[in-house]
Amino acid sequence: MAANFWTSTQHDHWILDRRQLVKSKQPDLKYLSPQDLLKLKIWLYQLIQKLGKRFQLRQQVVATAIVYFKRFYSRNSLCNTDPFLVIVTCVYLACKIEECPHHIKLISQEAKGVLTDVGASTYDSSKIAEFEFYLMEELEFYLIVWHPYRSLTHICKELGMKDSGLQFAWFIVNDSYRTDVCLLYPPHMIAIAAVYLTVVLNHADFAPGSQGEKKDMRQWFADLNVDMEEVGIIVQELLALYEVWNDYKDEDAVALWKNFRKAVAEDK
């Protein structure tokens, strides 16, 4: 594993161009509006989260599975693949890479409980094992993922932010995996954007005498050696997510998925 993000395979191979992501979505946008496609993907990310909860996985493991899912779909479309098989395999692979492996038969068994609830297909262990190699090929066998959590914890500690503020920022980072920012920006930029939103929304509570209490936070952000315009873009992506998410319901997403698959089938 690389000593830092800047020498990692994620930096060298998996910080993508926005145009590539736009291109990968075009086949699905024949059948869905951009907002409906985002709602559908929010639902699919929720299924990864639900499967993770069945194994009581750490959030970082779930985040790694979501990143694998996103990387796969930066080169593929929903209309030409089976996202439920991708979900199960991403969780299985993430568990191995994040050193909390679960037997493939157990993964298959627990996935049934998540997928049958939404009327999706279920998969035996041989199907998952077969797809695992294809998934790794699509990921170019670059499987180590750097997340914003470490940077976030370091920044909040440096500022003297209390646990309540850190938790709020942590939740924002969790939410960021429903957007494409993890494919477009380094992890520390996402962490800074989460801290920025926490401060702006008045959820940052600093310990007495800490840097965060003593400093003008506007100046603190201005003094950072980062492109604040890019931080602003990440913030806008998050706000756009919350606007769509505010109108999101699981049952609507299930209906959306069924209509999407029907339209795709009729077009073939």
User: Digits of tens for pLDDT over the chain (268 positions)?
Assistant: 567 899 999 999 999 999 999 999 999 999 999 999 999 999 999 999 999 999 999 999 999 999 999 999 999 999 999 999 999 999 999 999 999 999 999 999 999 888 887 777 778 999 999 999 999 999 999 999 999 999 999 999 999 999 999 999 999 999 999 999 999 999 999 999 999 999 999 999 999 999 999 989 999 999 999 999 999 999 999 999 999 999 899 999 999 999 999 999 998 7
Residue 137: Cβ-neighbour burial (10 angstroms; 0-12, 13-18, 19+)? exposed
Q: What is the pLDDT of residue 2?
A: 65
17-145 matches 148-247 in fold: yes
Angle of helix 59-73 relative to helix 125-138, nearest 10 degrees, comes to: 70
- Taking the C-alpha atoms of residue 59 and residue 103, their distance in angstroms, rounded to an integer, is 19
Q: What is the pLDDT of residue 1?
A: 57
Phi-psi region of 82 (alpha: psi -120 to 50; beta: other; left: phi over 0): beta
Identify any residues that bridge with 206 across adjacent strands, giving them in sequence order: 161
- Taking the C-alpha atoms of residue 16 and residue 230, their distance in angstroms, rounded to an integer, is 14
For domain 148-247, is the CATH number 3.10.450.30? no
pLDDT tens figures, 51-96: 999 999 999 999 999 999 999 999 999 999 999 999 999 999 999 9
Nearest C-alpha neighbor of 132 from the set 101, 99, 104: 104
Cα distances (Å, whole numbers) of residue 138 to 82, 142, 199: 15, 9, 39
Cα distances (Å, whole numbers) of residue 74 to 34, 133, 138, 153, 180: 15, 18, 10, 29, 10
- Architecture per CATH, domain 17-145, reads as Orthogonal Bundle (1.10)
Given a contact cutoff of 8 angstroms between Cβ atoms, the answer to whether 165 and 205 are in contact is yes
- Taking the C-alpha atoms of residue 259 and residue 81, their distance in angstroms, rounded to an integer, is 16
Cα distances (Å, whole numbers) of residue 48 to 39, 74, 79, 84: 15, 17, 19, 9
Q: What is the signed CA dihedral for 12, 15, 20, 25, rounded to 10 degrees?
A: 130
- Taking the C-alpha atoms of residue 51 and residue 54, their distance in angstroms, rounded to an integer, is 5
Listed by start position, the domains of the chain span 17-145, 148-247
Question: What is the percentage of the chain residues whose pLDDT exceeds 70?
Answer: 99
Given a contact cutoff of 8 angstroms between Cβ atoms, the answer to whether 263 and 32 are in contact is no
